[in-house]
Amino acid sequence: MGTIVGAVAGQEEATCRVFDAMVRLKAGEYQTAGSPDHHYGSYDEVRQLALNVMNHPHELEGRRKLYRYVMEALRLEPQGEVLLRKCAKEGARIADSRPIAAGTLVFVSHGSAMKEVSEPDAFVLNRPREQSMPYGWGRHTCLGQHVSPVIIVESLIAMLALEGLERPEPGPGELAFPLERRFGRMQLDDNNLYAKTFSLRFSDTGTTRKFYPATTDR
């Protein structure tokens, strides 16, 4: 699968971003009320959707709505924010930009483009398709759009079934670098592009024991 959809383990990175967004949603870091035209997400709702699927594995409508949570999470916490491209046609334009010379390197900032929307910091589930493009757009859209949502949604369901989900506190001797504070307990590679580790804490009670029973007493 990785050979088909790309050399970089994109869905694992995107899954970390989505998990991070869910913890942020639980912590109230996104706007979740305002316009009557918007359907805002909430941690209580997304967790209940996940629990419904855990109890009824063939629940399809719940998975469809969880997919909308995934797409909005990737809009707010994009995996990659800039694509480097080369202009192929003399005088080409991007929207109303000035003409671009052939061969010019262009930084396509799709991450910031996804924030040029109404209520950019709000978690809105019914945004138009063109406002969310974590997989790119047009004929260059990543083939992962057909694969990674399935993986991320199923991972999200399993993660949200855990009880008392939260960020762990830094351990003894650990430094809380600004980058680590930005992504909670996510640690990126040397280029600040991909997640090397992502830590979460949960309780061994309630739904955790219901869906993931311990095999030994402890």
Give the ranges where 84-135 is alpha helix by DSSP (H): 110-113
Instruction: Identify the bridge partners of residue 85 per DSSP, sorted by sequence position.
Output: 106
What pLDDT, on a 0 to 100 scale, did the predictor assign at position 5?
47
Which amino acid does the sequence have at 163?
A: E
What pLDDT, on a 0 to 100 scale, did the predictor assign at position 170?
65
Under 8 Å between Cβ of 202 and 166: yes
d(CA 61, CA 200): 27
d(CA 84, CA 136): 12
What pLDDT, on a 0 to 100 scale, did the predictor assign at position 183?
43
Per-residue pLDDT of the chain (218 residues; tens, 9 = 90+): 444 445 456 777 788 889 999 999 999 999 999 999 999 999 999 999 999 999 999 999 999 999 999 999 999 988 767 777 888 899 998 778 899 999 999 887 777 888 889 999 999 999 998 888 888 777 777 777 888 888 899 999 999 999 999 988 766 555 544 444 444 556 767 766 666 778 888 998 999 999 998 755 54
What pLDDT, on a 0 to 100 scale, did the predictor assign at position 9?
62
pTM for this structure?
0.82
HSE-CB at 58 with a 13 A cutoff on CA atoms is 0
What pLDDT, on a 0 to 100 scale, did the predictor assign at position 144?
78
What secondary structure letter does DSSP report for 83? Answer: E
Interacting residues of 110 by C-beta distance below 8 A, sequence separation 6+: 78, 80, 81, 82, 83, 133, 134, 136, 137
